[in-house]
């Protein structure tokens, strides 16, 4: 699967929320008595205690509907404090009244409660890629997330991409990232950038401003992608050095407050993408482990991975499960399965949810990848379903249904064979559906892409599978009023 210049292409965000939680703020103690029983409908914040099945558990961060008994691993939200004696009904007040401050004061709480629900509610994550280069020809800025209504629907933003030059985390485009000067007109808060010494500009400063307006959004810096994954081979040779370089870059004092996490988009470990890697099956886990050890448990670490569900395919040649165990969320790229990179066809939907009669390659569909990950022991509540905000298409096609021959890639605004949803919905409306997605035949062109209707169906699938939510590539393909992100948000 590929997407040039892309590519690309949280479990609860690790935050302390205001002390307006809906459960008593009982603090951890050495007492053997059981804390109030855990409730699936209650909201817990850092240091809240609950009991379940004869054990006391302490929350590490904000959580709701995540059972302590099954979410108390090293990287999970609950700490198992061991066996407790006696059960206290949840309606019974704690021994220490909630107004009693904790022994160790928390970090300064917000002066007002958050106006939006903290991200990470199980199954409700909405994660979008912001393409670094979109500020150029596309003229898509962070401000567009606000004007389209997308920001209000997001839990996380993946900023794509940082580079991996020389096996290190490096800046991908310094001008777009932190130097480009924004006018008042295209700035998130209507204030133009300054040229004062040390002033942060570029998309990083715009993301900082966005976070001030939407403090619930978590921003994750993604490294690699289709074009910039070559350095991961060197990173795998010295994971500790790679992790140190990433830490130093992401935590750079100029923008440390902007990023809540790091994402690894390695295309592909022990397999071929734009370049080939032969680091071995353990390399992916080694890199992720080094990052977790360096960044610690309170920083988000995520990863975009292959969605090849075929037998012996990319998901089978690397030990993804061990690496994912250290992640907060994982993004199998369930799009780009088929496209005009096979210029003569057969025509096929690039993001099929299920298999269908005549699919060109077995295992190249979303459900195959999800089931394979589950079979390897990856928890469903870490997996997000991927959605493309674009279509892939061919030209020289005579057959309306999938499976036809073609003469090459259909014309696209920025790249042959690819077009934004916002264009296709008008230029080549859907003429049919297959495998949970839509296709369109207009003239001699044949396109496949997702619509609000097919996204609604995919979100029903995500809920039925117990997934953590959905992610998408990328914001600028949507309409100016956010049709596709609304379909995701409204149907999760």
Contact between 391 and 427 (Cβ < 8 Å): no
CA angle 429, 433, 436 (to 5 degrees): 120
One DSSP character per residue, 336-368 reads -SS-TTSTT-----SS-SS--TT-SSTT-SHHH
Cα–Cα distance, 31 to 437 (Å, whole number): 55
Burial 40-75 (b: 16+ CB within 10 A, else e): eebbbbbbbbbbbeebbbbbbbbbbebbbeebbeeb
Q: What is the dihedral of CA 318, 472, 117, 123, to 10 degrees?
A: -50
Active site residue 66: no
Q: Residue 305 corresponds to which tokens in the numbers above?
A: 């991975």
**Residue 1 has what DSSP assignment?**
-
**How many Cα atoms occupy the beta-carbon half-sphere of 147 within 13 Å?**
14
The answer to whether the beta carbons of residues 70 and 381 sit under 8 Å apart is no
Q: Comparing C-alpha atoms, which of 17, 50, 53, 66 is closest to residue 328?
A: 66
Residues 6+ apart with CB under 8 A from 252: none
- Which backbone phi and psi does 313 adopt, to 5 degrees? -85, -165
Residue with tokens 């699938």: 461
Q: Give, in order, the Cα–Cα distances in Å from 93 to each of 23, 60, 97.
A: 10, 21, 7
Phi/psi of residue 456, nearest 5 degrees: -60, -40
For the CA atoms of the chain, what is the radius of gyration? Answer: 23
Closest CA to 307 of 385, 390, 398: 385
For residue 174, the surrounding DSSP H or E stretch is: helix 174-174
C-alpha–C-alpha distance, residues 227 and 49, integer Å: 46
Residue 186, judged by CB atoms within 10 A of its CB (0-12, 13-18, 19+), counts as middle
Partners of 51 in beta bridges = 37, 56
One-character DSSP codes across 256-307: TTT-SEEEEE-S-TTSBSSSB--S-TTHHHHHHHHHHHHH-TTSEEEEEE--
Beta bridge partners of 387: 472
Q: Which of 66, 267, 419, 474 is catalytic?
A: 267
Active-site annotation, residues: 267
């Amino acid at each position: 699967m590929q997407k040039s210049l892309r590519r690309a292409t949280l479990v609860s965000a690790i935050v302390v929320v205001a002390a307006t939680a809906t459960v008593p703020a009982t603090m951890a103690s050495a007492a053997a008595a059981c804390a109030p029983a855990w409730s699936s409908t209650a909201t817990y914040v850092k240091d809240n205690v609950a009991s379940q099945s004869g054990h006391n558990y302490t929350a590490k961060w904000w959580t709701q509907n995540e059972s302590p008994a099954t979410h108390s691993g090293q990287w999970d939200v609950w700490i198992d404090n061991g066996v407790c004696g006696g059960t206290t009904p949840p309606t019974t007040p704690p021994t220490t009244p909630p107004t009693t401050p904790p022994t160790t004061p928390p970090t300064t709480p917000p002066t007002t409660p958050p106006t939006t629900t903290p991200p990470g509610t199980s199954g409700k994550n909405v994660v979008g890629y912001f393409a670094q280069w979109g500020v150029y020809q596309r003229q898509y800025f962070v401000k567009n997330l606000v004007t389209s209504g997308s920001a209000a629907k997001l839990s996380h933003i993946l900023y794509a991409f940082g580079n991996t030059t020389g096996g290190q985390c490096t800046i991908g485009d310094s001008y777009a990232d932190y130097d480009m000067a924004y006018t008042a007109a295209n700035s998130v808060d209507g204030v133009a950038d300054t040229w004062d010494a040390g002033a942060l500009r570029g998309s990083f400063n715009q993301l900082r401003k966005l976070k001030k307006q939407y403090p619930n959004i978590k921003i994750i810096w993604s490294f690699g992608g289709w074009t910039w994954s070559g350095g991961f081979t060197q990173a795998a040779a010295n994971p500790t050095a790679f992790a140190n370089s990433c830490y130093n870059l992401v935590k750079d004092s100029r923008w440390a407050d902007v990023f809540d996490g790091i994402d690894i988009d390695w295309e592909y470990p022990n397999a071929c993408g734009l370049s080939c890697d032969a680091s071995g099956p353990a390399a992916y886990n080694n890199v992720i482990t080094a990052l977790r050890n360096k960044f610690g448990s309170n920083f988000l670490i995520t990863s975009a991975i292959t969605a090849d569900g075929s037998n012996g395919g990319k998901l089978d040649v690397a030990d993804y499960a061990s690496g994912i165990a250290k992640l907060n969320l994982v993004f199998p790229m369930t799009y780009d399965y088929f496209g005009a990179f096979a210029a003569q066809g057969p025509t096929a939907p690039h993001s099929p949810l299920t298999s269908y009669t005549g699919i060109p390659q077995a295992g190249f569909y979303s459900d195959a990848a999800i089931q394979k990950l589950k079979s390897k022991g990856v928890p469903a509540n870490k997996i997000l379903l991927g959605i493309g905000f674009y279509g892939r298409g061919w030209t020289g096609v005579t057959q309306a249904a999938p499976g036809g021959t073609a003469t090459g890639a259909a014309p696209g605004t920025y790249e042959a064979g690819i077009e934004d949803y916002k264009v296709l919905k008008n230029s080549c409306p859907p003429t049919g559906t297959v495998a949970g997605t839509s296709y369109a035949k207009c003239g001699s062109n044949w396109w496949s892409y997702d619509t609000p209707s097919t996204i609604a169906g995919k979100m029903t699938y995500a809920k039925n599978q117990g997934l953590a939510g959905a992610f998408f590539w990328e914001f600028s393909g949507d309409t100016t009023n956010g049709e596709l992100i609304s379909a995701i948000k409204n149907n999760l």
